[in-house]
Amino acid sequence: MTQFIQLHFLTSYPPSNLNRDDTGKPKTAKMGGEDRLRISSQSLKRAWRVSDLFKESLDGHIGTRTKLLGVKAYDRLQKAGISVEDALEWAKAIADKFGKLKSLTAEEKRKAGSLPEPEKIKVLLKELEIEQLVHVSRSEQEAIDALVDKLAHEKRAPDSEELGFLTKDTQAVDIALFGRMLASKPIFNVEAAAQVAHAITVHRVAVEDDYFTAVDDLNTHELDAGSAHIGEFGFAAGLFYLYLCINRDLLIKNLSGNEELARKAIAGLISCAAKIAPSGKQNSYASRAHASYALAEKGPQQPRSLSVAFLKPITGVDMLNSAIQAMERQQKNMDQVYGPCADERYYFNVEKENGVGSLKALIEFAAR
């Protein structure tokens, strides 16, 4: 049966604006009839994937998300001495294998023809951009680079048989964990082995406005004593609940059966989830935090979040302990009603005197 690893984190952030909406204010959501702060799963996964911690723990097994594979191939061909016309044509053939390319209108092409050469090339390079972000593994990128070098050395265009870069046999941990969707190449889609919920505060919140000014250091105040800049940002503080579920069997399958790499992937993901925050407004708020409580569960049972424990907002001055008690009570009640929802569990709790458990032990429990 499928083995699931479920993870539940409680992390408290001081005043912050980690994940902004289109107005620049912290993202929110209604839950239990009350406004809550929210950090989107996309923001969390991005922060984890590009963090030094993730890169150090999974060096050599991380892919790249980009629209610029064709532009990169063009630059490599140009550096190898291939003419602009050939480099554009060959790079376009390569990029086309990863999805639909952007196209210039007839008017844009006409205008480009009258531009000086450097500006003209900048316009033509737009036709090498892929419309959709493509997540490529290191091995796929290396295959592109190797073909580009071969074409430059042999001074010829690629043939169709040389353009099979995409593969489902990947060792890219971020693709295996978070999946890959290629609208025009669905055969190479990868189903995500890790599901990440939006983190949400366990209590109601009110987003506040941070009014600020900046002073011109060279202003002597002889003519104008006012500020040089006035601005306003939204911020709020909160205790967040975060839920993750990892399908261990699918992760191993996505990694072509490499169980050791799967263990490293699980360890790297858990470590990041416990330690890494999105980078939004960090210079203004230094809102970095580690999880204060984490619960890991393993077993073949159908996964379930414990967010319902916070449908009624947590209140009072001892919010962290109240949240822990609410979550543990919900877990026990679900076991009582549905039967054991996991075969094994492990937790750490920073709030208890001297601390209970450890992140290292929790990772070992989940990854083994």
Q: Is the pLDDT of residue 223 over 80?
A: no
Q: Is the pLDDT of residue 118 over 80?
A: yes
**DSSP labels for 70-126?**
HHHHHHHHHHTT--HHHHHHHHHHHHGGGSPBP---HHHHHHHHTS-HHHHHHHHGG
Task: Please report whether residue 335 resides in a domain.
Answer: yes
155 and 37 in one domain?
A: no
Higher pLDDT, 215 or 223: 215
198 and 336 in one domain?
A: yes
Confidence of residue 221 (pLDDT cuts 50, 70, 90): confident
Confidence of residue 324 (pLDDT cuts 50, 70, 90): very high
* Structure confidence at residue 213 (pLDDT): 74
198 and 339 in one domain?
A: yes
User: Can you tell me the distance from the alpha carbon of 27 to that of 2, in angstroms, rounded to the nearest whole number?
Assistant: 34
73 and 46 in one domain?
A: no
146 and 47 in one domain?
A: no
Residue range(s) defining the domain that contains residue 113: 65-167
**What pLDDT, in 10s, does the model give residues 52-81?**
999 999 988 999 999 999 999 999 999 999
pTM for this entry: 0.89
Burial of 55 (0-12, 13-18, 19+ CB in 10 A): middle
42 and 19 in one domain?
A: yes
**What pLDDT, in 10s, does the model give residues 131-150?**
989 999 998 999 999 999 99
196 and 53 in one domain?
A: yes
156 and 93 in one domain?
A: yes
Q: How many domains does the chain have?
A: 2
Q: Is the pLDDT of residue 285 over 90?
A: no
